[in-house]
């Protein structure tokens, strides 16, 4: 018995029970389209989480990360030269070095401990979106202005009552002694992620270095699109020659990594549930079809056709039903994903209070072919297991028994 004959048999059987075959196919199509679309949406959500978390302040990599170590006693000497070396070695990389100093700010009877973060706005805009979060006032430090200009966080502004144009006293450590510096608030930024805008005040890098009397940078953030593809961390370590610790965003933001792993685990559970539904749906169809044709199978066994050859008939039904449904479900999911990949999916109603989506809440689904291949492998396994059920029944049956019962 040739394989093409078995497929003709399967097509006739499926068309003879069109309603049942259609219902089973719809179940599979919905399952395939759901999993493919959810996987793409999950990847889009993860991409946005990573983008928002790294683009805000961290960057893709950091040298001498203060965010990770909390130390200001080990600085980066000649940061401008190191910045040039990195941008030369890693084509397309952007760098921003910062100076971080603990300080106390306040006025009259109230004071607040903060970190002064000395930045160069032009460099910072190339690496992070920190300056984009400035909602009120100026997001720069004019060169012609005199004195220390400060951009404070909205949370700190709300708590302290300080606003645009207000003056404040800044107590910081200059060398081996403390000094009080007058500063003016020229901007307010809004970045509540991990209470960042409660404890960090932005100032001009060069002015802070002058006040402290130390030109070394505390850390350097690097934006590099080829981080994963080109081994960016290894190449960056080669540039620094081991002088400073180099860390990637995964080490600096372990909570984001853990949340992604949790989402992947939850998605795996959802996929298993859909596989089970598909398995029972296909099994039900095939078992019913098997019993409807049991007398025919008995006659075929009686005339010498082996159970193996008859099994091809049963498995052909499974494969035709499964492959058609996979194809249809894939077309539907590709259409859905293509639309939202182009137009974006606005989840601001659901993510507005989530700090990981503080900067941007438009999700662009992305298909990962490896994930999709694994998902389709799961469907094919479900189809094969469903097809085994009637085959198992067939091998347990004897021609004489079948013919006696259905004579």
In this structure, of 5-9, 13-17, 145-149, the range with the lowest mean pLDDT score is 5-9
From the list 1, 16, 6, 2, the residue with the least C-alpha distance to 319 is 6
| pLDDT score recorded for residue 220 | 94
| pLDDT score recorded for residue 189 | 93
From the list 265, 271, 258, 338, the residue with the least C-alpha distance to 49 is 258
Cα separation of 239 and 202, whole Å?
Answer: 28
State pTM to two decimals.
Answer: 0.76
Average pLDDT over residues 321-348: 89
Average pLDDT over residues 331-359: 80
Question: The tokens of 290 are what?
Answer: 């098997």
Q: Which residue has the tokens 């000094």?
A: 179
Q: Is pLDDT above 50 for 25? A: yes
Instruction: Give the rounded percent of residues in the chain with a pLDDT score beyond 70.
Output: 89
Q: Is pLDDT above 90 for 37? A: yes
Helix axes 18-53, 254-292, angle to 10 degrees: 170
Helix axes 399-406, 294-302, angle to 10 degrees: 130
| pLDDT score recorded for residue 72 | 57
| pLDDT score recorded for residue 1 | 46
From the list 289, 301, 285, 288, the residue with the least C-alpha distance to 402 is 301
Q: Is pLDDT above 90 for 229? A: no
| pLDDT score recorded for residue 2 | 52
Q: Is pLDDT above 50 for 214? A: yes
Query: pLDDT tens digits, residue range 330-340?
Result: 999 999 999 99
From the list 360, 84, 359, the residue with the least C-alpha distance to 222 is 84
Query: pLDDT tens digits, residue range 253-271?
Result: 888 889 889 989 998 898 8
Q: Do residues 218 and 72 make contact, with C-beta atoms less than 8 angstroms apart? A: yes
Q: Is pLDDT above 60 for 124? A: yes
């Amino acid at each position: 018995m040739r394989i093409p004959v078995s497929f003709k048999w399967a097509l006739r059987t499926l068309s003879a029970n069109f309603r049942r075959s259609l219902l089973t196919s719809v179940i599979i199509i919905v399952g395939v389209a759901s999993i493919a679309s959810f996987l793409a949406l999950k990847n889009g959500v993860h991409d946005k989480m990573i983008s928002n978390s790294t683009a805000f302040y961290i960057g893709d990599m950091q040298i001498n990360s203060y965010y990770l170590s909390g130390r200001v006693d080990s600085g980066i000497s000649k940061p401008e030269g190191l910045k040039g070396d990195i941008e030369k070695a890693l084509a397309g990389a952007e760098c921003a070095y910062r100076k971080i100093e603990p300080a106390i700010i306040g006025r009259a009877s109230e004071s607040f401990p903060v970190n002064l973060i000395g930045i160069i706005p032009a460099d910072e805009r190339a690496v992070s979106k920190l300056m984009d979060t400035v909602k009120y006032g100026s997001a720069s430090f004019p060169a012609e202005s005199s004195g220390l200009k400060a951009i404070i966080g909205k949370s700190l502004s709300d708590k302290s009552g300080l606003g645009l144009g207000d003056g404040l006293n800044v107590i910081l450590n200059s060398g081996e002694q403390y000094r009080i510096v007058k500063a003016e608030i020229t901007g307010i930024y809004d970045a509540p992620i991990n209470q960042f805008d409660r404890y960090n005040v932005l100032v001009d890098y060069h002015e802070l270095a002058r006040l402290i009397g130390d030109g070394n940078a505390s850390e350097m953030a690097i934006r590099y699109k080829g981080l994963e593809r080109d081994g960016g961390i290894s190449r960056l370590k080669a540039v620094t020659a081991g002088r400073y610790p180099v860390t990637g965003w995964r080490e600096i933001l372990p909570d984001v990594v853990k949340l992604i792993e949790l989402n992947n685990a939850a998605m795996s559970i959802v996929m298993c549930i859909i596989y089970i539904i598909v398995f029972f749906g296909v099994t039900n169809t095939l078992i019913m079809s098997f019993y409807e044709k049991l007398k025919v199978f008995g006659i075929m066994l009686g005339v010498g056709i082996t159970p193996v050859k008859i099994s091809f008939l049963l498995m052909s039904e499974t494969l035709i039903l499964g492959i058609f449904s996979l194809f249809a479900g894939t077309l539907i999911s590709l259409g859905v994903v293509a639309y939202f990949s182009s137009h974006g999916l606005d989840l601001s109603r659901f993510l507005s209070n989530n700090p990981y989506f503080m900067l941007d809440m438009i999700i662009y689904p992305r298909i990962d072919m490896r994930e999709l291949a694994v998902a389709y492998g799961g469907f094919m396994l479900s189809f094969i297991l469903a097809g085994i059920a009637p085959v198992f029944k067939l091998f347990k049956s004897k021609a004489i028994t079948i013919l006696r019962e259905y004579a």
